[in-house]
Structure 1
Amino acid sequence: MQMASGNLEPGTLEAHLTAAPGPVRFIPTNNGRRLPIMATTDFPARSGSMNPTYFALTPRSLTDFDWLAVLDSTQYSRGGPTLK
C-alpha cells in the first residue's frame, strides 16, 4: 500500500495513523476488539493513488486484521509500472 506522508489527505485514517512518530508503527487491532474510540470513527476514505496495488484504509480495515504495520516509506520494486 502506498502512503507517502507528503500526499495524505487530511482527516483520513492514513493521516491519523501516520501522525504518530515513526518511521514504523505496529498497531494491534485484535480484529477490532479493545480499540480506542478513534478506531470506530467514520474516517473519510482517501481518494486513490496511481499505484495499482493501493487500497484505501477504512475503519473496517481495523476489524479485518489482527495487526496493521504502518511504514513511512518503502522501496519501489524495479520493473513495476511508473507511478505518476
Structure 2
Amino acid sequence: MKTVEEYISYLESKGFLFAEDSIGFIYFGKQYTNAPDWLVNTCIEMTLKIQKRFDGSFYVSLLESLTTQKVKNREQAIQFAENKGLFS
C-alpha cells in the first residue's frame, strides 16, 4: 500500500501533474475526514477517472461521503461510486 505522498509521486511519474492547490485539497481532505491513505488514494483515482482532471471540491465531497459510509476497502468505495452513478 502506498502512502498518499508515494501515490502522488507515482501519478506524477506517469505524467499527471498536480497544481499546488490540488495537493492542498488532498491533504486538507485527508485531515478533515481522518481518512486512511488507501481511501485517500482511491478517492484521488476515482476523481481523476470521473472528472477527467483533479477537482478538489469533488474529491473532498467524495472522500467525506465514503468516510461517512464507513467503507472498509477499495472495492466498497468503487461500488458506492457506481451505485451513485458517478461513473456513468
Fold match (TM-score > 0.5): no
Higher helix share: 2
Q: Higher RCO, 1 or 2 (CA under 8 Å, sep at least 6)?
A: 1
Higher strand share: 1
**Which one has the largest radius of gyration?**
1
TM, length-normalised to structure 2: 0.26
